[in-house]
Amino acid sequence: MDKLSIEGGVRLEGEVCISGAKNSVLPILAATLLTDDACIIKGVPELRDANTMIKILRSLGKNAEFEKGVVTVTAGKSNNFVADYKLVSTMRASFCVLGPLLGKLKKAKVSLPGGCVIGIRPVDLHLKGIRALGADINIESGYVTAKATRLKGAHIYLGGVYGSSVLATDNVMMAAILADGKTVIECAACEPEVVDLAEFLIKMGAKIKGHGTPVIEIEGVRHLHGASHTIIPDRIETATFMIASLITQGNITIKNACVGHLGAVIDKLEEAGASISITDNSLKVRFKKQLNAVNITTLPYPGFPTDAQAQIMALMSVTRGISVITEKIYPDRFMHVAELNRMGAHIQREGPHAIVDGVNGLSGAPVMASDLRASACLVLAGLAAKGKTSISRIYHLERGYENLEDKLQRLGARIWREKE
């Protein structure tokens, strides 16, 4: 098993190009189950999660080829409606095959994904929406089995304890595409990745309105055809490199960035004192002077993204003043706090809040990644720290960042892999 080693203290400079969005790729690949025609998905990043979804498609009877950022999905010799535990358990997002399998085959058997280190994330909203469309659902031996002779449109409210759910919105939207009549999803997730999925479905022949708003309307159709689609840029990778520039007092130009998806991140970084220049599809992020602490509250889009919470905490840990970071999406998503404190940060956890008292600098240390975004947080901390930082369990990083190590090296970072 590999670990990442970083010799910190290097100012990052240069250009970096953002990859396709992980959180768009996965449901869009799942949506190819809705048709027997060929689908071509472009701009697919080389990620562990993308490869897992391709394996799931193959296990369900599809032919799926991945080459140079392009996934081509065609019909296989048979259709399988069972998504096996061995694959689904490795990646929560794979549960979104439930909707398209049920919509196309009228039956599906999908392993429950279980919880993870950032907290339990139940699938109750998924099942609520699928049931509302007329499916008969049973849970047994760790699997959700759903059946329906014919799905029927319904008015569905998908609000949960912590607001809307991206994956539940995706799942219900895909199940409703081939249902009879009209479906209205209230409290739908508004994230750009949901919009990207809807745009792909529309290219396939779906009739969808309101995507990107809290109310999505779907008029069921009888058949979907194949389509070609290019994945949107990854806004979380973009936010990570913006913070990398600031935490190293650097000057990075970020290419292939969708600025319109980053309003909350840009607002908070500018409030902290960052210099950010914006063009149509790029950002120049420059450390201009000493930054100031800012308070952060994660919220559903267009609020500050929970997937960038850990990264901005790394920045606040070396920023003058006290900041309070409140996690309203996954209140237990603070596994990185202990590891940052090992590096010399002063962070105190109080329920869904982290109180960060900025220090003058961090010290390199051996640390352990607990999840995808915590991994990115520790890389950022290592880039800023004095001395050597070694990060174990970097397979988490490979789930969501394409060639992160190479991209950072091209910006001047001293970062390399070593065997554990």
Read off the pTM: 0.96
Q: What is the pLDDT of residues 271-297, one digit of tens each?
A: 999 999 998 889 999 998 899 999 999
The pLDDT value given to residue 350: 96
* Cα–Cα distance, 161 to 174 (Å, whole number): 23
**Average pLDDT over the chain, rounded to an integer:** 95
pLDDT above 90 for 133: yes
pLDDT above 90 for 121: no
Q: What is the pLDDT of residues 140-184, one digit of tens each?
A: 998 999 999 999 999 999 998 888 999 999 999 999 999 999 999
The pLDDT value given to residue 115: 46
> What amino acid is encoded at 57 in this protein?
L
pLDDT above 70 for 119: no
The pLDDT value given to residue 16: 98
The pLDDT value given to residue 241: 98
Given the residues 39, 96, 116, 190, select the one marked as catalytic: 116
Label residue 69 left, alpha or beta by phi (over 0 means left) and psi (-120 to 50 means alpha).
left
Q: What is the pLDDT of residues 51-69, one digit of tens each?
A: 999 999 999 999 999 999 9
Mean pLDDT value of segment 188-212? 98
Q: What six digits make up the tokens of 238?
A: 């973009």
187 is catalytic: no
Q: State phi, psi for 84 to the nearest 5 degrees.
A: -75, 150
Percent of the chain with pLDDT over 70: 98
Q: What is the pLDDT of residues 80-118, one digit of tens each?
A: 999 988 888 888 889 999 999 999 999 999 998 854 555
* Cα–Cα distance, 25 to 410 (Å, whole number): 26
Buried b (16+ CB within 10 A) or exposed e, 240-275: bbbbbbbbbbbbbbbebbbbebbebbbebbeebbbe
Query: Domains in the chain, please, with CATH?
Result: 2-18+233-419 (3.65.10.10), 22-221 (3.65.10.10)
Q: What six digits make up the tokens of 132?
A: 């509302």
Strands 63-67 and 251-255: unpaired
CB contact at 8 A, 356 and 347? yes
3-state secondary structure of 40: strand
Q: What is the pLDDT of residues 23-51, one digit of tens each?
A: 999 999 999 999 999 999 999 999 999 99
CB contact at 8 A, 234 and 305? no
Q: What six digits make up the tokens of 81?
A: 């409606």
The pLDDT value given to residue 209: 98
Mean pLDDT value of segment 215-228? 98
The pLDDT value given to residue 86: 86
Instruction: Report angle CA 4, 5, 9 to the nearest 5 degrees.
Output: 130
